[in-house]
Chains A and B, each alone.
Chain A
């Protein structure tokens, strides 16, 4: 995407999103911003297949999405899946090192995982920092305004699950909890145009209860998965600005520090049903899924976009749905899968009047009244396809597997914004595609399995900079983000590349 001056609506609601949970928490975004694969921390077998999942189980990833599916695990296993991602143009990146153990004993099973993560600061592509060193207004104690924070910051994840199977009824039930301590969300430091640095602190809790019912049959196994998710995200962004002010004493423009505390809170309830059944044709399966999310945003950050303070502290709510159909074939050593998912989403946000405000018509909006209302109607779609094949290495007991896949996400939406202060109504329709080719390589040894998965997402960008070192635009993290419409947004094309090596060791 060229810096086309796209009239971007800077509402974006990417829900806190762990990769394995992608099917249950529906991501939303309103501008073609590149997202780092920060939450791709758990292993996934289908990552190289474009991420197909509706009709093709993911033997590695499913237990982290629906704890009940761990019932499919035949034996206890140890996993590790070091993952790195990077945004091209030196615009950001990160590294994750998870350790996970999934254990099974009779009808009970459980798992633990710990992840350490380091996220690099996000930067405009091809830019070093972009601040002009003006004279700083003397601060008490002789301190100075700190410069841009170029250090990487760490996040921690702790995951636990427990479940039970009832063999007689082929029913499994499981529950999981994921706690995340957050100090770095990819892209957040670009959300505050012109800021010196952004310190992030926060946490997320993801609770899940899932069930898996299977019906063995001649052609294969039918299965029904059900899951209920509750996700709570809360973060504080302490944003330091270096504002230009005129100093009558020094008689020149100097920099003066200003600190803002922004709170980002989103609570999401979600539910999903997923059904798979074998077709008459050998090896083929079909599946469908239906998901519903309800997200509330009690507090949202006061983002600045293109040097514009957007609607402060605007709350909102979002209803997101998806309906998906998938087809897969696993015959012999060949694997094929395809998903098509439709995601209708409705989001409603507004700005509260923090003081009584007089409209252009002379009316008064009382304290707490709505000054601006935004109504978004999304009509998104996802199409994924992947193929894989395993080959025996002659003369050995080893096996080599290949995967290739492609995921295409189509995002389109309509916004109607009513500004009651200006007595104006504005409307926008826009959309774009994001393409994600993926690939994978698997080496199976008798003692362990080694997988490499990679993918690169194209079709999105990151904010560039205006002249005079002011960030022009908006980036997107994986936290809930709701902001108001802004002016022209220039994005510079970037690719997000992710590489994951996962090691799976059976525990005897």
Chain B
């Protein structure tokens, strides 16, 4: 065989030249999962580990106390009245209706001469998660001192400390001087002054320990503590134990997604998630492991209800607390797990659906100005404060992130709602099994 070298060299050069073609690199869009995980990763969002073990005896005591109206001055309202398990540990009303009211849930009505509790009853779902702030104005926190109106005993976690407080509040549970309880007996708790918290708690313990079944429950829960040493703090700790054991619902599809299950969310939910963590700016407040609960924001919410403190009939929120004027109309950013189940929304329940909440955030100034009180239940419409001066005051301190419209399309708003619904733990949908058939006092449970 005979071949010339030259043509072979030419062929090699041609081949080499062909190797020199480099295609341009074109952009390759990220997958939805890549976008979502990358955007989540910047906001300290984390799944929730299991709750610590709670003593069953403590849970049993807490459950009894939670549903027993004996904790109210007039023996007509329990914690569960406003935190009804069938309504996902809230009451479904824009503003809570405290002692003196009748009926349950949406059918609950004010008693004669009573007024609404100024704020919405927040759901107790996941209240044991380790919240930084409790109450809409955050006056109780893990870090700060006791709220100004009460001197709480030391050594309580924030959720037990919270359980000490509604029994002191006249509108919520204690009642007004001169009230008679459901048996037409004088309401001894209402006789105390508003600064006599210790005496009120002591009187409550006298009520409880007069009932043999409560004595047994306390003895079982606090085996090493003599009865004479029991205080209402132990009762509050039992209520907290019940909340931590039974009302923690953190296995939502989104939590499973956080635990690396890409199949846990649908495409629509993932798209909504990307919006939540990016363009819709929700995450600027709803961040951290609870998707909220760590800060305060003036979200331009319409004003409703009797108002709080010196600002009444308006509710200045955290801005009404001493040294917090900066937070005019700012309220705690709520954690968002199970938000689908806890309507109505905001501190005064002015928006009844997630769709309406998202639409509000899409253009807050417009939503506030155009708010239609007819969307509220009839009993609440007259307590709407929609004057121009009020609206201007709210907008003056509106969160700067909300001053410009988000310009989300209807599809995007729909996706955002789908994402919010993915924060629901299926186990939270029906909590009616938590309601006991009876309570030690013999008072009706509902």
Instruction: Give the B-binding residues of A (Cβ under 8 A).
Output: 6-9, 137, 217, 219, 222, 243-249, 251, 253-254, 256, 258, 277-281, 284, 286, 306-309, 312, 325, 327, 338, 340, 342, 353-355, 357-360, 381-383, 408, 410, 412, 414-415, 419, 421-422, 424, 426-433, 470, 484-488
Q: Among the listed A247, A353, A414, A419, which residue makes an inter-chain contact with B49, where contact means beta carbons less than 8 Å apart? A: A247
- 9 A-B pairs, CB-CB below 8 angstroms? A9-B28, A245-B48, A249-B52, A308-B33, A308-B37, A360-B267, A381-B15, A428-B28, A470-B41
Shortest beta-carbon distance, A373 to chain B, in Å?
Answer: 13
Is there contact, CB below 8 Å, between B26 and A421?
A: no
Which chain A residues lie closer than 8 Å to B47 at the CB level? 243, 245-246
Q: How many angstroms between the C-alpha atoms of A383 and B26 in the bound complex?
A: 25
Which chain A residues lie closer than 8 Å to B2 at the CB level? 219, 279-280
Q: Among the listed B26, B41, B289, which residue makes an inter-chain contact with A246, where contact means beta carbons less than 8 Å apart? A: B289
Is there contact, CB below 8 Å, between A355 and B263?
A: yes
Is there contact, CB below 8 Å, between A279 and B22?
A: no
- Chain B: CB-nearest residue to A137: B49
Give me 13 other A-B pairs in contact (C-beta within 8 A), A6-B25, A248-B130 excluded: A246-B47, A246-B130, A256-B49, A280-B3, A280-B4, A308-B33, A312-B262, A358-B266, A382-B19, A410-B20, A412-B22, A429-B24, A484-B31
Is there contact, CB below 8 Å, between B142 and A487?
A: no
Instruction: Give the A-binding residues of B (Cβ under 8 A).
Output: 1-5, 8-9, 11-12, 15-16, 18-35, 37-38, 41, 44, 46-49, 51-52, 128-130, 142, 244, 248, 259-260, 262-263, 266-268, 289-290
Is there contact, CB below 8 Å, between A410 and B22?
A: yes
Is there contact, CB below 8 Å, between B267 and A421?
A: yes
Q: Among the listed A246, A355, A357, which residue makes an inter-chain contact with B46, where contact means beta carbons less than 8 Å apart? A: A246
Is there contact, CB below 8 Å, between A422 and B46?
A: no
User: A307-B41, A430-B23, A433-B22 known; A383 and B16 CB under 8 Å?
Assistant: yes
Is there contact, CB below 8 Å, between A327 and B12?
A: yes
Is there contact, CB below 8 Å, between B15 and A340?
A: yes
User: A325-B11, A340-B16, A412-B21 known; A253 and B33 CB under 8 Å?
Assistant: no
Which chain A residues lie closer than 8 Å to B19 at the CB level? 340, 381-383, 408, 410
Is there contact, CB below 8 Å, between A486 and B30?
A: yes
Q: Among the listed B15, B22, B35, which residue makes an inter-chain contact with A487, where contact means beta carbons less than 8 Å apart? A: B35
Q: How many angstroms between the C-alpha atoms of A7 and B26 in the bound complex?
A: 8
User: A327-B12, A487-B38 known; A354 and B263 CB under 8 Å?
Assistant: yes
Which chain A residues lie closer than 8 Å to B262 at the CB level? 309, 312
How many A-B pairs fall under 8 Å by CB? Answer: 167
CB-based closest 9 A-B pairs: A246-B289, A340-B15, A381-B19, A251-B130, A249-B52, A428-B28, A7-B28, A487-B30, A280-B2
Among A217, A249, A256, A484, the one with the most B-chain Cβ atoms within 10 Å of its Cβ is: A249
Shortest beta-carbon distance, A485 to chain B, in Å?
Answer: 6
Q: Among the listed A9, A222, A307, which residue makes an inter-chain contact with B37, where contact means beta carbons less than 8 Å apart? A: A307
User: A486-B34, A487-B30 known; A422 and B267 CB under 8 Å?
Assistant: yes
- Chain A: CB-nearest residue to B19: A381
Q: How many angstroms between the C-alpha atoms of A144 and B24 in the bound complex?
A: 48
Q: How many angstroms between the C-alpha atoms of A487 and B19 in the bound complex?
A: 28
Is there contact, CB below 8 Å, between A327 and B8?
A: yes
Is there contact, CB below 8 Å, between A248 and B52?
A: yes
Is there contact, CB below 8 Å, between B16 and A426?
A: no
Is there contact, CB below 8 Å, between A248 and B49?
A: yes
User: A248-B129, A381-B19 known; A431 and B5 CB under 8 Å?
Assistant: no
- Chain B: CB-nearest residue to A6: B25
- Chain A: CB-nearest residue to B266: A358
Which chain B residues lie closer than 8 Å to A277 at the CB level? 1, 3
User: A279-B2, A327-B12, A470-B41 known; A429 and B25 CB under 8 Å?
Assistant: yes
Which chain A residues lie closer than 8 Å to B248 at the CB level? 248
Q: How many angstroms between the C-alpha atoms of A432 and B15 in the bound complex?
A: 17
Q: Among the listed B12, B20, B260, B289, which residue makes an inter-chain contact with A253, where contact means beta carbons less than 8 Å apart? A: B289
Q: How many angstroms between the C-alpha atoms of A426 and B30 in the bound complex?
A: 9
Main secondary structure of the interface of B (DSSP, over half): loop
Is there contact, CB below 8 Å, between B1 and A248?
A: no
Which chain A residues lie closer than 8 Å to B20 at the CB level? 410
Q: How many angstroms between the C-alpha atoms of A103 and B30 in the bound complex?
A: 56
Q: How many angstroms between the C-alpha atoms of A355 and B15 in the bound complex?
A: 48
Q: How many angstroms between the C-alpha atoms of A415 and B52 in the bound complex?
A: 49
Q: How many angstroms between the C-alpha atoms of A251 and B15 in the bound complex?
A: 65
Which chain B residues lie closer than 8 Å to A382 at the CB level? 19
Q: How many angstroms between the C-alpha atoms of A7 and B25 in the bound complex?
A: 8
Q: How many angstroms between the C-alpha atoms of A432 and B21 in the bound complex?
A: 9
- Chain A: CB-nearest residue to B157: A251
Q: How many angstroms between the C-alpha atoms of A255 and B86 in the bound complex?
A: 35
Is there contact, CB below 8 Å, between B29 and A426?
A: yes
Q: How many angstroms between the C-alpha atoms of A415 and B29 in the bound complex?
A: 12
Is there contact, CB below 8 Å, between A279 and B23?
A: no
Is there contact, CB below 8 Å, between A245 and B49?
A: yes
- Chain A: CB-nearest residue to B2: A280
Q: How many angstroms between the C-alpha atoms of A23 and B30 in the bound complex?
A: 35
Q: How many angstroms between the C-alpha atoms of A381 and B20 in the bound complex?
A: 9
Is there contact, CB below 8 Å, between B23 and A309?
A: no
Is there contact, CB below 8 Å, between B15 and A342?
A: yes
Among B11, B44, B142, B260, the one with the most A-chain Cβ atoms within 10 Å of its Cβ is: B260
User: A253-B46, A340-B12, A422-B267 known; A428 and B26 CB under 8 Å?
Assistant: yes
Shortest beta-carbon distance, B353 to chain A, in Å?
Answer: 23
Q: How many angstroms between the C-alpha atoms of A414 and B30 in the bound complex?
A: 16
Is there contact, CB below 8 Å, between A431 and B23?
A: yes
Q: How many angstroms between the C-alpha atoms of A9 and B23 in the bound complex?
A: 15
Q: How many angstroms between the C-alpha atoms of A340 and B12 in the bound complex?
A: 6
Shortest beta-carbon distance, B319 to chain A, in Å?
Answer: 27
Shortest beta-carbon distance, B355 to chain A, in Å?
Answer: 20
Q: How many angstroms between the C-alpha atoms of A490 and B9 in the bound complex?
A: 40
Shortest beta-carbon distance, B240 to chain A, in Å?
Answer: 12
Q: How many angstroms between the C-alpha atoms of A456 and B227 in the bound complex?
A: 81
Shortest beta-carbon distance, B148 to chain A, in Å?
Answer: 24
Which chain B residues lie closer than 8 Å to A433 at the CB level? 22
User: A306-B38, A419-B31, A421-B267 known; A245 and B46 CB under 8 Å?
Assistant: yes
Which chain A residues lie closer than 8 Å to B15 at the CB level? 325, 340, 342, 381, 383
Shortest beta-carbon distance, A363 to chain B, in Å?
Answer: 11
Q: How many angstroms between the C-alpha atoms of A284 and B46 in the bound complex?
A: 67
Q: How many angstroms between the C-alpha atoms of A309 and B24 in the bound complex?
A: 27
Shortest beta-carbon distance, A204 to chain B, in Å?
Answer: 29
- Chain A: CB-nearest residue to B32: A422
Which chain B residues lie closer than 8 Å to A342 at the CB level? 15, 18
Q: How many angstroms between the C-alpha atoms of A488 and B25 in the bound complex?
A: 13
Q: How many angstroms between the C-alpha atoms of A251 and B243 in the bound complex?
A: 16
Which chain A residues lie closer than 8 Å to B23 at the CB level? 412, 414, 429-431
Which chain B residues lie closer than 8 Å to A325 at the CB level? 8, 11-12, 15
Q: How many angstroms between the C-alpha atoms of A249 and B2 in the bound complex?
A: 85
Q: How many angstroms between the C-alpha atoms of A415 and B128 in the bound complex?
A: 49
Which chain A residues lie closer than 8 Å to B48 at the CB level? 245-246, 248
Which chain B residues lie closer than 8 Å to A484 at the CB level? 31
Q: How many angstroms between the C-alpha atoms of A419 and B19 in the bound complex?
A: 32
Shortest beta-carbon distance, A328 to chain B, in Å?
Answer: 11
Q: How many angstroms between the C-alpha atoms of A117 and B248 in the bound complex?
A: 52
Q: Among the listed B27, B30, B33, B46, which residue makes an inter-chain contact with A309, where contact means beta carbons less than 8 Å apart? A: B33
- Chain A: CB-nearest residue to B130: A251
Shortest beta-carbon distance, A80 to chain B, in Å?
Answer: 35
Q: How many angstroms between the C-alpha atoms of A448 and B268 in the bound complex?
A: 71
Q: How many angstroms between the C-alpha atoms of A259 and B355 in the bound complex?
A: 39
Q: How many angstroms between the C-alpha atoms of A327 and B15 in the bound complex?
A: 13
Is there contact, CB below 8 Å, between A246 and B129?
A: yes
Q: How many angstroms between the C-alpha atoms of A256 and B48 in the bound complex?
A: 11
Q: How many angstroms between the C-alpha atoms of A61 and B215 in the bound complex?
A: 88
